[in-house]
Structure 1
């Protein structure tokens, strides 16, 4: 009996010591816990920022709301019943009425033209835009501005992607039309093409399909031109034209050149209007730009950003769904945020490090040196925003697993992103990092710094969980399980038969992966940011499928963080 008691005591003592080593710092400083109840207080006298999202997906809404928490700003969004839901368009008239009724109580408005006009991005991809539609929208925006002249309207509109509309039937016809359109893009650039191939492709789809395809770009260009006119008039304070899923040669690129020429003709400065690559991340980027503008108004300097690559040739790589290289995209995003690019050897406020993993280009050997570089920068106190791209969307191509292997304190990263396209990932990581920089520049107390740090770590935790663990691992296991059970189209969930099961698969697999992650030294390592010693205790992730498909998840991160001033 005594032996049993002694063994029990020794076991409990060992367990206590293990818990202490794993979950507590080795120093004797005083630590206090930050949790979901820790939120940045709103600036005194500041009114909310209104957001009309591109659509109801989390990147278009929740990212902006959570970005607002970093800088202590409330982001107000429309009622859910007015928003789109997957293929169901939003209620555009109700949305416009809501905006008109609430704009007067806002400091600024960030609005998606696609949502106001067509009811979301997916609906806009299929919508016919008439001249009457464009005129009615222009009248509405002029009236809104006249009613609230002191409330700046920051608008963005997404130019069509190269892929033919879903309304054009037949996958063979759509494939041939896309190939033909790529050749049209080359012709428009003055490049030689195989005319026999163009003739062959033109016979593989009905002429009506080509007419419908080209009409979509013409209608979009007419709308974008009107938005440029509204910017020139001063109705729109800022206009961003984004390009959705671009390609190197396309009809869309030719139309972009027309719009760029119009901006030049009207002498509209880049800070007033820009044409950029990307879509889903633009609203978050516009929020970050507002924060930079406010910092400048208060007499602060714009953020200076150093740009680095895990390997030099990654700068010139063009990744899937992109029309331009990683470097062009990064420099474009820095300019869009109103930040400054720090040239080599000059001082900077943060470093944007881009790792572009491509097993076909033999980049896997770059990961260990890049991980060491990240660790050295974090040890030196350099804020690092990491963009972790993967050409084939595989974890084996990403840098993050090597950071874990080498016990790099990943929670010390200022930002992390690695989702589907380079523009999305670069834009999201930069916007998060700039928001955090601005928040710390204006923080006047330890408590304000702690609140901003918590909000930024919550954003970071969600991005790591989704971009690395879900999109590179869990999504494949969920899809494979559904497929093995006989479901053919796993990308579109059956809400009646497999939606609940898919959510259970998601929760179980992601929870297992997060538990493994939380047990690593990379997760547990204390780190210093802005004179605060921080450490992550637990991620507290919840996730589910917001739309009936596995492509995206709605994720909430409410991490438990310990801080020691």
Structure 2
């Protein structure tokens, strides 16, 4: 058991080294007067240079051994690959990365009472020709690789495996490199479900970065959802679109658990139909995604009368941006409608 006389600390193994993944979660923890520990910069990744996976695992063991540590929040992508970009570009073998999951099992044996929350990402396939955060061949084949994932997803129910040339103009050696890395990462995500089932993890979020209704990552979520249905612990796993905000959400979850409180959120939107639209770069409705994010943060969603009223601004139905209004809406200015709803709820004395 942790010593109640020690100032509580949460240890975060972040998704990468950007401020949104390192500084923002620390700001969240500071609101509750809790110290957030993150690894030193010298072992974190730096853009396309991977972090030191062995050192990061050692840091996590050290933090778990500290009796002041009351919760671990772990990015599986950081622990196994040395960061988010490395998960898309590294050549580490499946055997090597799976072995790094043993750190979490060691921590569970060392501190059976220490809660461990984790997030693992479904690998994205950017619909672009930018290789800034992708393998270098993305400059030539990126959009075609993205399209291949969507076309393969549409063929999930088919029994025939078409010749590769019928599916994509991308050279076979490029498809092999890309798909082999996806396969490795998918096996990792399946393995994290096993860590939930054997109680190594207390909570798991599997989130999808830059996805689409039909995409390689969305197909992988079909298979992951199958095992979430088969494994009893799968009901406690949350799978939804997200990436950079998840660290802060899981720190909030840790704070709530440490304080023994559960906040409640009621969700509303000026454009009710917008709640059922699928936002750009996502693969589920705004309502479903928001509900999962609330639960990931350790809160609960209620129909009315929540501690907080969450006002959502719905995506544009034509997918041009998040702000254009629709002629058939009474107030065609969607932004004005959202602002008016916020004002109305504030005037009613709600926390918005």
Q: Which digits, 9 at most, give the CA deviation of each residue in 1:104-142, with x for residues without a partner?
A: 211111111111111110111112342321342133322
1:320 aligns with 2:280: yes
* 1:221 matched residue in structure 2: 186
- Give aligned pairs, total: 329
Q: Do the aligned partners of 1:231 and 1:238 also contact (CA within 8 Å) in 2? A: yes
**Unaligned ranges ≥5, structure 2:** 315-321
Which structure features the higher share of helix residues? 1
The 5 Å alignment of 1:149-548 reads 149-163=112-126, 166-167=134-135, 169=137, 171-188=139-156, 202=168, 204-271=169-236, 273-295=237-259, 297=260, 300=261, 302-343=262-303, 346-356=304-314, 357-359=322-324, 361=326, 365-384=333-352
What root-mean-square deviation, in Å, do the aligned CA atoms of Structure 1 and Structure 2 show? 2.5
In structure 2, C-alpha distance between the alignment counterparts of 1:201 and 1:361, rounded to whole Å: 37
**Distance across 1 between alignment mates of 2:266 and 2:157:** 33
**Residues 515-555 of structure 1, C-alpha deviations (whole Å, 9 max, x = no match):** xxxxxxxxxxxxxxxxxxxxxxxxxxxxxxxxxxxxxxxxx
Following the alignment from structure 2 to structure 1, what is the Cα–Cα distance between the partners of residues 226 and 347? 47
Are the structure 2 counterparts of residues 244 and 189 from structure 1 closer, same or farther at C-alpha, using a change threshold of 3 Å?
Answer: farther
SS at match of 1:254: helix
For 2:287 and 2:234, the matched residues in 1 are separated by: 22
Q: Distance in 2 between matches of 1:144 and 1:370?
A: 46
Distance 2:138 2:252 in 1: 42
CA distance in 1, matches of 2:165, 2:58: 49
CA distance in structure 2 between the partners assigned to 1:361 and 1:88 by the alignment:
45
Q: Tell me whether 1:90 sits opposite 2:75 in the alignment.
A: no
How far, CA to CA, are the matches of 1:63 and 1:288 in structure 2?
Answer: 11
3-state SS in 2 of match to 1:107: strand
Q: CA deviation at 1:235?
A: 1.7
Alpha-carbon distance, 1:187 to partner: 1.7
> Would the aligned equivalents of 1:217 and 1:255 in 2 still touch at CA under 8 Å?
no
Query: Normalised by the size of structure 1, how large is the TM-score?
Result: 0.54
The answer as to whether partners of 1:231 and 1:237 remain within 8 angstroms in 2 is yes
Q: CA deviation at 1:56?
A: 0.6
2:317 counterpart residue number: none
Q: Is 1:136 the equivalent of 2:104?
A: no
Moved over 6 A (4+): none
In 2 relative to 1, CA 341–144 (structure 1 residues): closer, same or farther, beyond 3 Å? Answer: closer
Shift of 1:257: 1.8
TM (norm. structure 2) is 0.85
1:376 offset after TM fit, Å? 2.5
Q: Is the 8 A contact 1:160 1:243 kept in 2?
A: yes
Cα deviation code 1:236-281 (max 9, x no counterpart): 222221111111101211211212222222210533x322221111
Q: What's the CA shift for 1:173?
A: 2.5
Cα distance, 1:77 vs. partner?
A: 0.9
The alpha-carbon distance between structure 1 residues 321 and 369, as it changes in their structure 2 partners (threshold 3 A), is closer
The answer on whether the counterparts of 1:90 and 1:115 sit within 8 Å (CA) in structure 2 is: yes
1:403 is aligned to none
Question: For 1:110 and 1:134, how far apart are their aligned partners in 2?
Answer: 19
- The SS at the match of 1:188 is coil
- Is contact 1:129-1:219 (8 Å) kept? no
CA distance in 2, matches of 1:235, 1:170: 37
In the TM superposition, what is the alpha-carbon distance from 1:361 to its structure 2 partner? Answer: 4.5
> Who is 1:524 aligned against?
none
Contact 1:159 1:252 in 2 (8 A): yes
SS at match of 1:268: helix
- Are residues 1:54 and 2:15 paired? yes
